[in-house]
Structure 1
Amino acid sequence: MWWKSPLPSSILAVVTAIAATLVVPPPALSQQRGQPPVDVALVLAVDVSRSMSLEELRIQRRGYAEAIVSPEVLRAIFGGAHGRIAITIFEWAADRHTREIQPWTLIETAADAQAVSDRLMEEDSRGERRTSISGAIARGIALVEAAPYPSERQVIDVSGDGPNNQGLPVTLERDRAIGKGITINGLPMMTRDGAGMLFGIDDLDEYYRHCVIGGPGSFMIPVNGWDQFAEAVRRKLVLEIGGLAPDMPRDPWRRPGAQPARIVPAGYVGGERITPVQLGNEAPYDCMIGEKIWNQRRWIFDGDSR
């Protein structure tokens, strides 16, 4: 005997239509149909807070522009399963300031990479007030969700020279990104000069490790001097595009005798979020240190919300 629905056909059709709208497709399938799939959708979030000088902002721009067309990065792009990536670039400072430099763009040829590099060098960066890493991550999440290309992985790459001191606590946006399956990597710039000395911290790498990065395969590469910046960006892009972490066997910069990085999926252990570089039973880290320093020293600017 055939089963017969107790609902009238008109009502059943409405119920079926509503149910269909509640089915959420996997992230890789939720993008615009007809676009080619990419190995990674990569968001580059570049710090332009006023703690950096104009020359340092130029070094930063040039470092990204040169890295994108470097032989190492091009080999990583062409060596992927799809042989292409999607990339977008924006500058950030306060949570109310983000400036798009490069909208979502497909890179599958050397000419594509050169076009992005040329765009980066068309103009100089402009320094802006305050440092909101949480705002940068929030913008990165929105860009990932709007990416037009289906991607195997989604990565937000955050560079910065100081801790979060404005906007939401950075851990809230970090955890929101991780909950969406997005990886956050970091490029902490541990250069102590200029205004950065007033609101910076000596252990910015530890701050990024505990408070900023997260997600499967997440990592950071500290920059201890501006002469290291270009190579650090190049290495970071190669690892992100290849889905690697520092000192893994296929890391081109692997140190002789280095042990392969231990990759641990992001999760919670003892109330602390654990990432590939935050392992073991470590003492709690104060992820509000940037906000506390700002509140202690904001009087220096006599009303100037830098």
Structure 2
Amino acid sequence: MEGSVASAASLRRKPKSNDAGDGLRILKTVLGLCLLLLAPSSVAQSEYPVDVELVLALDSSASVDRFEFDLQLRGLALAFSDPEVQEAIKGGPFQAIAVTMLEWSSADRQAVSIPWRLIDSPESANALAAEIADSPRNVETGATSLSAALFYSVPLFAANSYSGQRQVIDISGDGFNNSGRTMRDGREFARGAGVIVNGLAIQNQVLDLGGYFEDYVITGPGSFVITANDYQDYVKAIRQKLLREIRAGPIS
């Protein structure tokens, strides 16, 4: 109440200077609104449209030696520097994709190797290829937790600055899920988030691993498995897989 009386008295004592202050405040408000209208909104900035948001999840468990891990990097680097893959990226409605790469092994061992990158030109694709080729191995050993890899990957989509017509996890592995939560839990987590999971089964140690991926790993509209007989074969298989993932139509 005392504040109200004091304010009223002040208004009576200084009508001219208060009028000037009101006018200045109004001018600042109008200018502020104009700046808000002219500046890009935070929503727009956080939803850069792309054709697909793609998580590349590489097996870095104990069953993968250094040479085999390097073959995974080489295969991905060659794929993104391939003219046909670059043409596929430019062939979508938005002519752009977003990519991140991570390594996984045990239930508690995952690491992002390359943060989200916008790929919208041959130059940006070649830059990603070089970054992949030079990427160090961040997870050296561990069990095989495909389920934990999915639990780790799904939240990465919400944390990026892109809005893709599809959200896809491209997971490569050479063994069964043997650590952490069940494969059913991991797959249901991805399915519930509307994320597509595609698999690349490297069958150098486990026969019919592709069948296991079909039954327990992949999920979502148009999801698929590609098999590689060994890590040498991975180099060719990952290119085929990326072409198929990039060219897939939007989910209706």
1:1-306 to 2 correspondence within 5 Å? 32-34=43-45, 35-125=47-137, 126-192=139-205, 201-243=206-248
Tell me the distance in 2 between the aligned counterparts of 1:32 and 1:204: 42
Runs of 4+ residues deviating >3 angstroms: none
Q: CA RMSD in A?
A: 1.6
Contact kept? 2:96, 2:119, Cα under 8 Å: yes
Q: Secondary structure at the match of 2:64?
A: coil
Rate the CA distance shift 1:32–1:221 in 2: closer, same or farther, 3 A: farther
Tell me the distance in 2 between the aligned counterparts of 1:144 and 1:90: 13
Q: Secondary structure at the match of 1:216?
A: coil
> What is the TM-score of this pair, normalised by structure 1?
0.65
Contact kept? 2:176, 2:209, Cα under 8 Å: yes
> What is the TM-score of this pair, normalised by structure 2?
0.78
Q: Secondary structure at the match of 1:37?
A: strand
Task: Tell me the CA shift for residue 79 of structure 1.
Answer: 0.3
Q: Secondary structure at the match of 2:210?
A: helix
Contact kept? 2:100, 2:117, Cα under 8 Å: yes
Rate the CA distance shift 1:123–1:88 in 2: closer, same or farther, 3 A: closer
Give the paired residue count: 207
Task: Tell me the CA shift for residue 36 of structure 1.
Answer: 2.6
The letter for the 2-side match of 1:104 is W
Task: Tell me the CA shift for residue 171 of structure 1.
Answer: 1.1
1:25 alignment partner in structure 2: none
Task: Tell me the CA shift for residue 111 of structure 1.
Answer: 1.4
Q: Secondary structure at the match of 2:171?
A: strand
Contact kept? 1:41, 1:147, Cα under 8 Å: no
Tell me the distance in 2 between the aligned counterparts of 1:43 and 1:111: 20
Greater per-residue helix proportion: 2
Q: Deviations over 1:158-214 (max 9, x none)?
A: 10000110010011111111122110000010012xxxxxxxx32211110000001
Q: Secondary structure at the match of 2:129?
A: helix
Contact kept? 2:80, 2:129, Cα under 8 Å: yes
Q: Secondary structure at the match of 2:165?
A: strand
The letter for the 1-side match of 2:44 is R
Task: Tell me the CA shift for residue 100 of structure 1.
Answer: 1.2
Task: Tell me the CA shift for residue 55 of structure 1.
Answer: 0.9
Structure possessing the higher radius of gyration over alpha carbons: 2
Q: Secondary structure at the match of 1:75?
A: helix
Tell me the distance in 2 between the aligned counterparts of 1:127 and 1:224: 23
Tell me the distance in 1 between the aligned counterparts of 2:228 and 2:188: 25
Task: Tell me the CA shift for residue 66 of structure 1.
Answer: 0.9
Contact kept? 1:40, 1:86, Cα under 8 Å: yes
1:21 alignment partner in structure 2: none
Q: Which runs of 5+ in 2 are unaligned?
A: 1-41
Q: Deviations over 1:77-110 (max 9, x none)?
A: 0000000000110011012111111111100011
Tell me the distance in 1 between the aligned counterparts of 2:48 and 2:203: 38
